[in-house]
Structure 1
Amino acid sequence: MLLRFRAANVRSLRDEQELSFVVPQHEKSDAARTLKLSDGKSLQVFPVLGIFGANASGKSNVVTALMKMKEAVLGSYGRWTSYQGIPREEFALDPKSAAESTFYEADFVLEDGVRWTYGFELGSKRVESEWLHAYPKGRRQVWLDRDATRDTVFEFPGDRIQDRALLARTTRPNALLLSRAANDNHPQLTRIYDWFNKNLWDITPETERSQREAFTARELLNEKSRDRIEELLRVADLGIQGAEVEHQPGQTPRVRLLHGSDAGEPVAFDWQRESFGTRSWFALIGPLLLALDRGAVLLIDELDASLHPRFAAEVVRLFQAPWVNTKGAQLVFTSHDPSLLKSPRGGRPLEPGQIWLTEKDDSGATELYPLSDVDPGPEEDLSDSYLAGAFGAVPRVTQGQIGRRVLTALAGEAERS
């Protein structure tokens, strides 16, 4: 499970920002899961985090930063050889940022309960630093300490890593040692690499929909998956009673959803007649179930972009429900839809510690903070308070301001002409 993620100098994340799934010790949570650690202790970890904020406040950049870290781990050894330097997207609004390193760090727990911290700093031409720490008995073990400014760049305190001399000698300055080790299926470090490879799956509901539709369609051919897919279609209240699927070898399965009718017999609709919302929901179901089955970390950017609020709320419920999410899967989503902050019948789908807000300062840099830092009241309507600007992270636009500016601009153009 992912515990924390930190990044700096990535797009609008100029200063170090942290996203944390861990419930602070002084807080109580009904949504959190108990994660047993190898040292006998336990942590309370949220299964879902939602990132809210105004347009262009940096919500998507938090998800992008997570994916950039994964891309670096998976691709630095093989793909970066073709670059004249290291591919980065540093903070663009300050010229000094180009000369500063880009920072990534993740805390996570593997299947055996051991907590790990892995991170690195990337310069424009080389990996400036890289580190790997383990906590098998609660105390930190330093496995790797890399510093490009030292005469001895790589140090391995405790000599825990096998083939240390070979790794140090064959890791390029512009590649991560972790990527290099996994290329040779290193017996110890490949486990860390595999965590990144099998997690941090990103989805934008409006993009790659046809591929995800095809994946969900193929899953309908699997009897174990079919019942769950049809149930999710029904529970979303689309009037759908089931699905027909035809499959010819070498072709994408053809799906027709069965809609209820006044006559009592379901009517099969051609796929092209289905609404955009229905198709978006169908396309999302396959990856959602796969993430739940594998206990992966799923990243959904703009969850509300092409989904009805009811569908978006259903996604959150799937990951929150322990009887559905039995493998410890996690969800990070971005949204600006305040309806996800309260249930139709009252209550809170997400606790304050699960709601993260993004806001840009005057220099264009993003600040990321949990709603729990604002300390909302226990009975406070989070949706109303959010829209009223009580928590920040909303557009600074007064009623009618945009219209007045448009009229002013039109009047100016008329005078100039």
Structure 2
Amino acid sequence: MLLRFRVANVRSLRDEQELSFVVPPGQESDAARELRLSDGKSLQVYPLLGVFGANASGKSNVVIALKKMREAVLDSYAQWTSYQGIPREEFALDPKSVSESTFYEVDVVLDDGVRWTYGFELGSSRVESEWLHAYPKGRRQVWLDRDATRDNVFEFPGDRLQDRALLVRTTRPNALLLSRAAADNHPQLTKIHDWFTQNLWDISPETERSQREQFTADQLLDANTRGRVEELLRVADLGIQGAEVERRPGMSPRVRLLHESNSGEPVAFDWQRESFGTRSWFALIGPLLLALDRGAVLLIDELDASLHPRFAAEVVRLFQAPWVNTKGAQLVFTSHDPSLLKTPRGGRPLEPGQIWLTEKDGSGATELYPLSDVDPGPEEDLSDSYLAGAFGAVPRVTQGQIGRRVLTALAGEAERS
């Protein structure tokens, strides 16, 4: 499971920002799950976090930063060559950021209950630092300490890591040691590398939809998953009773959804007749179920971009429900839809600690903070307060301001002409 993610100098995330799934000490949560650690202690961990904010406030950059950390771990050894430099996207509004390093760090707990902290700093042409710490008995064990400014760049306190000399000799200055180790299936480090490849997935509802439609269709062909796919189609109140799916050798399956009719007999629609919202929801079902089955961390940018609010709320419920999310899957999503902050009956689908807000300061840098820091009242309507700007993270636009600016611009153009 993912406990925390820290990042600095990536896009609008100039200063170090942290996204945390861990319930702060002293706070109570009905949504959090108890995570047992290898040292016998436990943590309360949220199954999902939602990042809300105005357009261009940097909320998507939080998800993008996680994706870029994953890409670095997967690609640095095989794809970062010395003449290309290291791919980075520094904070663009301050020239000094180009000369400063980009920072990433995650805290994760693997299946054996051991907590690990892994991170690195990237310069324009080399890995400035890299570190790996383990906490098998609650105390920190330093497995790797890399610092490019030292004569002895790599240090391995405790000599816990195997093949140290080989790793030092074959790790390029512009590649991560973790990536190099995984290339040879290192017996100790590969499991850390695998967390990024097998447990950190990203999707966008508006991209790669055809591939995800085919993946969901394949799950309809599987007797073990078909019932759940059809149930999710029905529960979203689309008037769908089921689905027909036909195998086609060498081609993607043909799907026809069965819709309710006045006659009582379901009517099968050709796929092209389905609405954009229905197809977007169908394409999302397959990855959702796979993430739930494998206990993965799923990243969804702009959850509400192509989905009806009812569908977005259903995604939240899937990850929140312990009887559905039995493998400890986690979700990070971004949105600016305030309807996700309350139920139709006025309840709270998300606790304040699960709601994270993004707001830019005067220099254009993003600040990321949980709503729990604002300490909303227990009966406060989070949606209304959010829209009113009580928590920040909303556009600074007064009613009619945009229209007035358009009229002013038009008047100026008329005078110039």
| TM-score class, shorter | over 0.9
Q: Secondary structure at the match of 2:131?
A: strand
Q: TM-score, normalised by structure 2?
A: 1.00
Q: Write out aligned runs for 1:291-330 (5 A).
A: 291-330=291-330
In structure 2, the residue matched to 1:35 is: 35
Q: Write out aligned runs for 1:14-413 (5 A).
A: 14-81=14-81, 84-413=84-413
CA offsets 1:245-300 (integer angstroms, 9 cap, x no match): 01111110000000011111100000000001000000000000000000000000
The aligned amino acid for 1:342 is K
Q: Secondary structure at the match of 1:340?
A: helix
Structure 1 runs of 4+ aligned residues shifted over 2 Å read none
The aligned amino acid for 2:8 is A
Identity percentage over the alignment? Answer: 88
Q: Is the 8 A contact 2:34 2:43 kept in 1?
A: yes
The aligned amino acid for 1:278 is T
Q: Secondary structure at the match of 1:76?
A: helix
Q: Secondary structure at the match of 2:90?
A: coil
- Give structure 2 stretches of 5+ with no counterpart: none
Q: What's the offset of the Cα at 1:244?
A: 0.1
Q: Distance in 1 between matches of 2:109 and 2:360?
A: 32
Q: Secondary structure at the match of 1:145?
A: strand
Q: Distance in 1 between matches of 2:333 and 2:40?
A: 31
Q: What's the offset of the Cα at 1:168?
A: 0.6
Q: Distance in 2 between matches of 1:334 and 1:364?
A: 19
Q: Secondary structure at the match of 1:131?
A: strand
Q: What's the offset of the Cα at 1:82?
A: 6.6
CA offsets 1:35-54 (integer angstroms, 9 cap, x no match): 00000000000001000000
CA offsets 1:63-102 (integer angstroms, 9 cap, x no match): 0000000000000000112752100000000000000000
CA offsets 1:9-60 (integer angstroms, 9 cap, x no match): 0000000000000000110000000000000000000001000000000000
Q: Distance in 1 between matches of 2:82 and 2:270?
A: 46
The aligned amino acid for 1:45 is V
Q: Secondary structure at the match of 1:305?
A: coil
In structure 2, the residue matched to 1:12 is: 12
The aligned amino acid for 1:54 is A
- Give structure 1 stretches of 5+ with no counterpart: none
Q: Is the 8 A contact 2:120 2:128 kept in 1?
A: yes
Change (3 A) 1:333 1:83: farther
The aligned amino acid for 2:247 is H
Q: What's the offset of the Cα at 1:346?
A: 1.6
Q: Secondary structure at the match of 2:52?
A: strand
Q: Secondary structure at the match of 1:61?
A: helix
Q: TM-score, normalised by structure 1?
A: 1.00
Q: Is the 8 A contact 2:277 2:307 kept in 1?
A: yes
The aligned amino acid for 2:130 is E
